[in-house]
Amino acid sequence: MALIITDECINCDVCEPECPNQAISQGEEIYEINPDLCTECVGHYDTPQCVEVCPVSCIIVDPNRVEDHEQLIEKYRFLTTGANRAPQG
C-alpha cells in the first residue's frame, strides 16, 4: 500500500528527507507522496520513516492503492535496480 498525507499536514518539513525513495515532495498546499515511488520503506526499514517522524500523525495508508508486502518488495527492487519492467500492481 502506498501512503498518503492528509489535510492535517502542517508542512513541518520533517518527512521529506526521511523518505529513502524520494517519494515525498511539497505539493501546492501540503506535502504529497508519489504512490509509484512509495514502498512504505519496505526494503529499507522495518517501518515507514515518514510515519515515525510525523508530529501530527497525518500520514496514513491510501485505501485506493492497496499493495501487499510482495508487491512492495517488487516495487522496491524495481526502484533500486532499475529493472526494465514496471512493478505489477
Asked whether residue 85 carries a pLDDT value surpassing 80, the answer given is: no
HSE-CB of 58 using CA atoms within 13 angstroms: 17
**What pLDDT is stored for residue 83 in this prediction?**
61
- As assigned by CATH, the class of the 3-81 domain is alpha beta
**What pLDDT is stored for residue 1 in this prediction?**
73
Phi, then psi, of 5 in degrees rounded to 5: -105, 125
**What pLDDT is stored for residue 35 in this prediction?**
96
Find the DSSP H helices in the chain: 49-53, 69-81
* Domain range summary for the chain, segments of one domain joined by +: 3-81
Mean pLDDT across the stretch 53-70?
A: 95
Mean pLDDT across the stretch 53-78?
A: 95
Mean of pLDDT over the chain: 92
Q: What's the grid cell of residue 72?
A: 512492495
